[in-house]
Amino acid sequence: MTTAGTVLDARALVSEWIRDVDGTMFLAGRWSESDRTLAVRDPESGDLIGCTPAADGAAVLAALAVADDARRTSRALPSHERSRILDEVSRGVEEDAEVFATVIALEGIKTIREARAEVTRCAFTLRLCAEEALRFTCEPPAFGQYPGSEGRIGVTTLEPAGVVSAITPFNDPLNLVAHKVGPALAAGNAVILKPHEQTPFSALLLARLFERAGLPPGVLQVLTGRGSDLGDSLVADARVRVVSFTGGWSTGRRIAHAAGVKKLCLELGGNCPTIVMADADLEVAVSAIASGAYWAAGQNCLHVQRLLVQRTVLESVLQRLTAAVSSLQVGAKLDDTTDMGCIVSTASGNRVESCIRDAVAQGAQVLTGAGRNGPWIAPTLLENVPLEHSLWRDEVFGPVTVVEPFDDLNDAIRLANGVDYGLQAGIFTDSLDTALTASQALDAGTVLVNDTSDYRLDSMPFGGSKKSGIGREGVRWAMTEFSEPKVVCFSRAR
């Protein structure tokens, strides 16, 4: 178990770094304080980590004025300079990986091992951004394909959209910041970032690296505070040309309503299915499912929430999976042996616990888990959950997976598609024909064959359909979202 000394050592590791940005936000190239502050606490212990300014509408207006000027500065930066800055920040993240990982674990919900994995991904994401900044181009128009257009030649350029508002969640407080800030800067925009109020320090420390790498003042600004105080101002202003948001569907809908006519890139969560066919390698499937279902305590949009198992292997899968889930070590985030950490808040814990109890009251059976100990909810596996229940239809954002049997592939696809989300889906099978049929029939932005829904490569197009949102992330894809194509056509003089 983690000892008091271990926690103290971790705090000592990051205390100087947090002290460097504590009580400040990054505006107009300066670290600014405010009379109003928010306490940032470890959700596991409740201990105070630090404070950040509670920005208001006036701060948003000041940041927008700076960003509107800084977009010209960013646009004028040559691509090799954008690439150099992004590469330098990527290397900085790698060099201080343990500090970043400890900050992620302290302020958020990830175990130290999960946090280290996120730091590695962040460095990779920023390195991809540095590479793409050098080769971001469009195909030129082929004017000769239409009669009467002969004698013309042209180019298509991708111009920076201008000011990007980026709003990030608590569950990936570093890499999801990189996925918004990195592509936006690589494409030549100015960015106003609003990290989640519970996990701001990862983003602030990343901004410090951008500052040290020589990013011009005002090109990146970080506003801290509550989304309810800042959200409308950050998205509605006409100077904002793109809004990039990761979070829940209801908040995304409010953002879309407030933003008006501008580009939106909204990743709004999922209710991801994973299908296990009778011909699958069950040992491989169960191992992947146990990880994909309870990574970050299920507080993950790719979380394996709905597990569909072909009836002929249901008993074998449940026996293996129940044993695997029951063996997961739940406990202190900073303990290297911990597999799953805490829930983000008391309110979230109460919500998840209430959902489990309600499902059981309606006939669901607990295969394992369902207990709660303060900020920890045991990894929970349920069967016989009514298909009308929120645990089946909505995003739970907690360590709960529901199991449903099916008879054939058509039945599995019907069940998988029968919700209002379409982010990612997984299927385990040894049949190429089954894999091809499922990949075409499943309503999802990504279909993973012989993997769970809980996989993402940071360069791939990432997003979904239905209530899962609009637009795509993934470095090059996000750069396109943050750009406007322009055609320049030259015609032979007549």
Q: What is the DSSP string of 239-258?
A: TEEEEEEES-HHHHHHHHHH
The whole-angstrom separation of Cα 429 and Cα 52 is 49
User: How far apart are alpha carbons 388 and 23 in whole angstroms?
Assistant: 46
Structural contact between residues 405 and 309, judged by C-beta atoms closer than 8 angstroms = yes
Q: 489 catalytic, yes or no?
A: no
Active-site hit among 114, 118, 267, 481:
267
342 noted as active-site residue: no
How many angstroms separate the CA atoms of 63 and 282, rounded?
Answer: 53
Exactly one of 265, 301, 342, 355 is catalytic; name it. 301
The conformational region for residue 218 under phi > 0 = left, psi -120 to 50 = alpha, else beta, is left
Q: What are phi and psi of 276, to 5 degrees?
A: -115, 110
Rounded (5°) CA angle 450-452-457: 95
d(CA 57, CA 180): 22
C-alpha to C-alpha distance for 238 and 258, rounded to whole angstroms: 11
CA-closest candidate to residue 314, choices 363, 383, 214 = 383
* Closest residue by Cα to residue 367 from 297, 282, 302, 290: 290
- Per DSSP, the three-state class of 224 is coil
Q: Which residue is listed with tokens 């103290």?
A: 8
CB atoms within 10 A of CB 109: 29
Return all residues near 95 (Cβ < 8 A) that are at least 6 apart: none
182: tokens are 């990195």
CA-to-CA dists, residue 97 to 12, 83, 93, angstroms: 15, 21, 6
Q: Is the dihedral of CA 198, 202, 205, 207 positive or negative?
A: negative
Element (H, E) at 396: none
Query: How far is Cα 293 from Cα 306, in angstroms, rounded to an integer?
Result: 9
Beta bridge partners of 153: 490
Strand locations in 375-418 (E): 376-377, 380-383, 400-406
Strand intervals (E) in 13-98: 25-27, 30-32, 37-41, 48-53
Secondary-structure breakdown of the chain: helix, strand, coil percentages, each rounded to the nearest 5: 45, 20, 35
Output DSSP code: residue 139. P
Catalytic residues: 267, 301
